[in-house]
Amino acid sequence: MSALKLIETVRNEFLAELEDVGEDLNQIENFRSTYLGRKGKVASLFSLMGKASNEDRPALGNSLNELKTDLTTLFENKVAEVNSSKQKAQDDSIDLSLPSKQQRLGSIHILEQTLSEIKEIYQSIGFHVAYGPEVDDDYHNFTALNIPEHHPARDMQDTFFIDPETVLRTHTSNVQVHLMEEQDPPLRYIVPGRVYRNEAIGYKSYCLFHQVEGIYINERASFGELKGCLEFFVKQMFGPKKNMRFRPSYFPFTEPSAEVDIWDEERKQWMEILGCGMVDPAVLENVGYDPSRFHGYAFGMGVERIAMLKYKINDIRHFYSGDVRFLEQFV
């Protein structure tokens, strides 16, 4: 048999046997030493080199080296394959149906989340955010806003008094007055904050709630712009297809005044979500702005109301209960 034939035979035997080598480590080691060991079949083939003629020797050497490289590679692949299938078997023995190691997530209150959303929407159209005191004097909460002392409009907001001239603010409009006293127009702000109403507590009303009021004052400002601004808000907050309407209403600090309703498809009725209007000239005058030169619009909304409408929360008291069964629904 020629040397080259012998090489081919060893190669074929190797390939045939490689198929049958199992995953047993001893078996694998035996197989390795049979072919690739120091006294293995490949090594013994190298003895043929001595018997080969001078002209055949280089080709034979090449063939032998080729055989050795090939078989070594094939064997290593086989070993890797065996190892990986063993690893897999081991992985499968881990019971990942057991519960995880505990990680507790807390939550940011849904009113805070709703407020953040409101802030982002208005900030995206140039509004700044300002804050102010919850306890204020009668002037900033009422009189400056065109609600004189003996006016039926005072009945619209049941008030907690600290003393006859000091109140828990009934809206965050008091901050608008402070802002206008401190700054010259133009200005464009929203004012979030906690406000208080002396009302019986029930599923619809609580003794306090959170408001976001907005104000824009400039040399030109129109009811059309107010509508544009609030439509932008409603569509951002409730989706671009939300139906809404502006309904004339009355607030002492705006004129014309409107209430905005959105359509509730489930209840088949209009739900009020905010009040707005053009800043009343009397308010501008009270803070020292010239009403013949400046115009403005203002709006106010309850954060609770918006969250209730958006998430179908049926009882305002949930917000203040601190009940984790409520809180963790809004992680």
271-330 residues near other proteins, rule: CB under 8 A = 278, 280-281, 295, 319-325, 327-328
Q: Closest distance between other proteins and the C-beta of residue 92, in Å?
A: 18
Shorter beta-carbon distance to other proteins: residue 21 or 309: 309
Integer Cα distance of 118 and 93 in angstroms: 51
Among 130, 177, 180, 301, binds other proteins (CB under 8 A): 130
**CA distances (Å), origin 292, targets 44, 233, 282, 288:** 111, 29, 11, 12
User: What is the chain's alpha carbon radius of gyration, rounded to the nearest angstrom?
Assistant: 41
What burial letters (b/e) apply to 268-295, b meaning 16+ CB within 10 Å? eebeebbbbbbbbbebbebbebeeeebb
Q: Which two tokens stand for residue 82?
A: 């065996």
Among 38, 101, 267, 312, binds other proteins (CB under 8 A): 101
14, 8 Cβ separation under 8 angstroms: no
Q: Closest distance between other proteins and the C-beta of residue 301, in Å?
A: 17
Q: Closest distance between other proteins and the C-beta of residue 266, in Å?
A: 18
Q: Which positions from 153 through 172 interact with other proteins, judged by CB under 8 A?
A: 153, 155-156, 160-166, 168
Question: What is the arrangement of strands in the sheet containing 161-163, beginning at the earlier edge strand?
Answer: 135-137, 166-168, 161-163
Shorter beta-carbon distance to other proteins: residue 70 or 158: 158
3-state secondary structure of 182: helix
Q: Which two tokens stand for residue 219?
A: 């040399």
Strand partners, 188: 216
Q: Which positions from 240 through 269 interact with other proteins, judged by CB under 8 A?
A: 245-250, 255-259
303, 223 Cβ separation under 8 angstroms: no
Shorter beta-carbon distance to other proteins: residue 66 or 182: 182
Q: Closest distance between other proteins and the C-beta of residue 198, in Å?
A: 6
**Stretch of residues binding other proteins (CB under 8 A), selected from 40-48, 59-67, 76-84, 196-204:** 196-204
First to last CA, the chain: 80
146, 252 Cβ separation under 8 angstroms: yes
Q: Closest distance between other proteins and the C-beta of residue 155, in Å?
A: 7
Neighbours of 151 (CB within 10 A): 13
Shorter beta-carbon distance to other proteins: residue 40 or 256: 256
Size of the site for other proteins (CB under 8 A): 87
Among 4, 28, 74, 208, binds other proteins (CB under 8 A): 208
Task: Using the Cα atoms of residue 109, residue 111, residue 112 and residue 114 in order, give the sign of their dihedral.
Answer: positive
Among 5, 88, 150, 267, binds other proteins (CB under 8 A): 150
Shorter beta-carbon distance to other proteins: residue 46 or 232: 232
Q: Closest distance between other proteins and the C-beta of residue 33, in Å?
A: 42
* 238 near other proteins (CB under 8 A): no
Shorter beta-carbon distance to other proteins: residue 196 or 289: 196
Q: Which positions from 42 through 81 interact with other proteins, judged by CB under 8 A?
A: none
Q: Closest distance between other proteins and the C-beta of residue 184, in Å?
A: 11
* 123 near other proteins (CB under 8 A): yes
Segment 148-156 long-range contacts (CB within 8 Å, at least 24 positions apart): 151/252, 153/250, 153/251, 153/252
